[in-house]
Structure 1
């Protein structure tokens, strides 16, 4: 279980989003850096909400979902799910009858078959949603508090999601909700902020 990342006064949060041009978003995407605005929203599997799918493959799926009202989450049998709260306001979920309250940077893990319902007060929350196929991969999450930049070496399993702060790549400001996908490139971020590191570990290695 991960703990929430340490807050730094004056940080950019989800309410402050730098504006990027289409050309800039494409430049970032070529480096495996995906901003929320670069991905079109699409309906949830059950049609009750919207999400931005950042990556989808046989082993894992990563999306940035918007929670609007008390809408039941879609069911994903055979998957393990990790939700990380990106927005500032707390999020309260009922997961198979158990109440779970999240603040920014905290996560909750549950099976894709679980019945999940947000409370009315949670409307407007944004979550980073990692799902892995239970027979193929194991999801792992840990917080990152970035005080003076971040080096992201080449990796086939490492994902970094930006939760707060003033982080930049090549002098391009990265909005909250930006994700660095696994890449063969070495990437360097400047600035300070809060992030979540997600890993998709093959089941054979996790065992």
Structure 2
């Protein structure tokens, strides 16, 4: 049986993030801005942040103009619209429409995707995984409680509303905030505090 590598106690706890504090980076094709939320290698601790090409990455991208997406050979991608008024992704034989926040779409990383905005800029929450090495399950929770499962790595991001957790969270998650939950962490519970709350959850495991 494979055992998880030991990690210092401080690194087996959920880490909170705020979109406003994440470092901006140019897209691989220099046509947009992205911010890395978390990235990792299967079987390795989440921190310190890996160098080189990770097996998985979660990021948030701002799109201000129409144009092609970056290509990632051997990777699978899934995107969630978290802000904006529409986005259309297309490639030969593929059409993905994001009409409202919380809409999702999955596509191969090597697919030549072209993006067309609706009425204004858009923001995407992106998950990318190395095919046959790692896998991710993306879900959208609307007015529904979330509970992580220890043994898997999780990333959660608030699209709308407030999400109250246990003492480890210290303060509710609000729009643009989230948690990175390492596989070694104990269960994390988040509960919406009012109707209309929307949360993106990502569960990451070895393939």
Normalising by structure 1, we get a TM-score of: 0.73
CA RMSD of aligned residues (A): 2.2
Offset from partner CA, 1:157-190 (integer Å, 9 cap, x none): 3322211112245563433232321231443435
1:7-156 equivalences under 5 Å are 31-57=14-40, 58-96=54-92, 98-102=94-98, 103-121=100-118, 123-147=120-144, 150-152=146-148, 154-156=150-152
Offset from partner CA, 1:112-140 (integer Å, 9 cap, x none): 10111221426411111000000211221
Corresponding residue for residue 21 of structure 1: none
CA offset at residue 33 of structure 1?
1.8
3-state SS, counterpart of residue 72 of structure 2: coil
Partners of 1:157 and 1:122 in 2: CA distance: 35
CA offset at residue 65 of structure 1?
0.5
CA offset at residue 153 of structure 1?
5.3
Partners of 1:39 and 1:52 in 2: CA distance: 6
3-state SS, counterpart of residue 195 of structure 1: strand
Equivalent pairs counted in the alignment come to 173
Structure 1: runs of 5 or more not aligned: 1-29
Partners of 1:171 and 1:146 in 2: CA distance: 21
CA offset at residue 152 of structure 1?
4.0
Structure 2: runs of 5 or more not aligned: 1-12, 41-53
Partners of 2:17 and 2:188 in 1: CA distance: 13
When residues 122 and 109 of structure 1 are mapped into structure 2, their CA distance, relative to the original with a 3 A threshold, is farther
Normalising by structure 2, we get a TM-score of: 0.73
3-state SS, counterpart of residue 37 of structure 1: helix
Corresponding residue for residue 199 of structure 1: 203
Corresponding residue for residue 177 of structure 1: 176
3-state SS, counterpart of residue 119 of structure 1: strand
Aligned residues of 1:70 and 1:123 also touching (Cα < 8 A): no
Offset from partner CA, 1:58-93 (integer Å, 9 cap, x none): 220000000111131111111100001101422222
Aligned residues of 1:155 and 1:182 also touching (Cα < 8 A): no
